[in-house]
Each structure stands twice: as structure tokens, then as C-alpha cells.
Copies of this chain bind each other. A is one copy, B any other.
């Protein structure tokens, strides 16, 4: 590996810190989800649908899961009354998925609890440090 390229030793420090922080973050998310009898993926589905109306295929693409997996997830959430399949007038194939009232409320509660749970972790930082951290994190881009 050429010097300055790839995973150099200077990067290892950040990578380790990122992995550690991510497990803490995922722990909070999983705990919030479990408190509402949701899996992490179900919580993500609610969060996505809170902002966007999506088709089954769009959910699959966004989450990086197979469409058959989404069918099951949506089945169970629909049975719980959290969301609904809605026919798409423009295309008889692409079904829209939308949150119900109950789903909207649960998504909002979940988001608030995630923020609350993570705020505890962030409490050690000053407001300026928190802003700096947010800025640096946002400059990481997906591979």
C-alpha cells in the first residue's frame, strides 16, 4: 500500500473511534426500538416513512435489503396497524406504503427518545464542540 493511501495508521484512530461511537449509537437505537417492540429495521422504516411516502422497492433500495424482506417487515407492521399499503394509481405494480396515525405518533415518540438517549452521551461536550462534531461527521460520506 502506498504511503498516504488507504487505511494508514493516522486513520486508524478515527476508524476505531467511529466504530466505538457507532456501537453506542446503535445500542441506543436498538433499545428505543425494543421498548416499542420494534426491531432496529422497523424503527428505520418508520423514520423513513415519516418524511417520505415510499414504494416497497424504494424501501428495499434505501435499506439495502431484498424486496422479499420488505414484504415481511411491512406485513408485520401493517398487522400492528402502524402503516398501510396503498394502491398507486399511476402504476398498478408499485405499491405505496404510508404511516397510519398510530405509526406517525410512534415514529415521533421514537425519534424523541433517540434524541434523548443520545443527548446523554453528548452532554460531556460544550455547545461549540457539539457543533464541530456534527460538522465533521457530516463530512463523512458513504462509500
Contact = CB atoms under 8 A, between A and B. Distances in A.
Interface of A: 6-8, 10-22, 24-29, 64, 112, 114-122, 124-125, 127, 129-143
Given A21-B22, A26-B26, A132-B132, 16 more contacts: A6-B116, A7-B118, A13-B134, A14-B122, A14-B133, A15-B119, A17-B133, A17-B135, A19-B114, A24-B141, A28-B143, A120-B143, A121-B141, A125-B140, A129-B139, A133-B133
Contacts of A119: 6-8, 11, 15
A64 B139 contact: no
Summarize A's interface: helix, strand, loop or mixed: helix
Identical subunits present: 2
Nearest to A119: B7
A132 B124 contact: no
